[in-house]
Every structure is written in C-alpha cells, then in structure tokens.
Amino acid sequence: MFETRDSFRRAFLDMIGNKDNAYHPLVWINGEPEIGPGTYIGGFSEVNTGNARVTIGADCDIASFVAINAADSHRRAIGISDELEYCDIIIGDNVFIGSHCAILGGADIGHHSVIGAGTIVRAQHIPPFSLVVGNPMIVREEYYRAEYEARHGESTGDDPT
C-alpha cells in the first residue's frame, strides 16, 4: 500500500490534519514557535503560537501530553469578547516540563526550572532554577540553584531577584 516509510508518514499526517515536525508525528505545532537545539517534545503535545511569540530554549525536555498555548478563547466562548487573546510565552534553556502540563499565555519560565507533572503555569515570571508544581501552581524559587552550582563548581551569575 505504501512504498516507503516516508509515504506512510505523509499519508498519516495528512489523515490527522498535522504537519511534519522534527519531534514526533503526534506533536502538533501551530504557528512558528522558536525552538532551540536539543529540545525534545513528546507525543500528543501541542505548541500553539496563534498571533503571539512562543520561544522554547535549547536542551529542554517536554514530556508527552503537554499543551503550550498562547491563545486564550474563554472570553469569546462565553460571549464577552469577539476576539481571541494572545500572550507571548518564554521557556528558558534546560527546562523540564512534566506530562499533562499546560503552559498558558504570558508564562515566562526561567532556565534550569522543573515544571512538575499536571501543573498549570499561568501568566507569571518563574525565576531560573525553580520547581513549579500544582494547580494553582506553587513556585519554589531557587530550588535547584545550589545543587547545580555544587555540581558545576561555579556561580551562575544570575541575580536571584
């Protein structure tokens, strides 16, 4: 039926309404996010930029079933606006995002941070080296800084404020 693996992949992507990407055939990328080298995105995840800028740093690990969504339609859905709202998303380098997370418009996640499974990250600045868990999210700032600096034998030079 299919001559090559590539012809099957193209047919599959066409069937599910997805475009090819460097991550997984079941990762949906809508728009043009900036994604750094060495970043992994697991299957059944979505990156939706809408009319916003979405930046994902280098060497991030984004698990399966993660939604990174710069578009917000709730006001339109309930009839109090005619427009979608879009807010930029910034994810720094070396960030881990666990399975079943939602990263929403306005989120700014500092480098070397961990977003625990199932966490909803709303519009907020998350400092580098933070641990973020839950809904509503709890941010433990600087959680990983000392361990990172001890392992690498250096100060990161980041201002912790």
**Closest-CA residue to 100 (of 44, 21, 23, 40):** 44
Cα 40 from Cα 55, distance rounded (Å): 14
pTM of the model: 0.89
CA 132 from centre of chain: 13
Edge-to-edge strands, sheet with 120-121: 28-30, 46-48, 67-69, 102-104, 120-121
Q: Which CATH class is domain 30-152?
A: mainly beta
The series of mean pLDDT values per 10 residues for the chain, 161 residues long, is 79 84 89 97 95 97 98 94 95 98 98 98 97 97 95 72 46
d(CA 121, CA 103): 5
Q: How buried is 78 (Cβ within 10 angstroms: 0-12 exposed, 13-18 middle, 19+ buried)?
A: exposed
- If one counts every other C-beta atom within 10 angstroms of the C-beta of residue 5, the result is 8
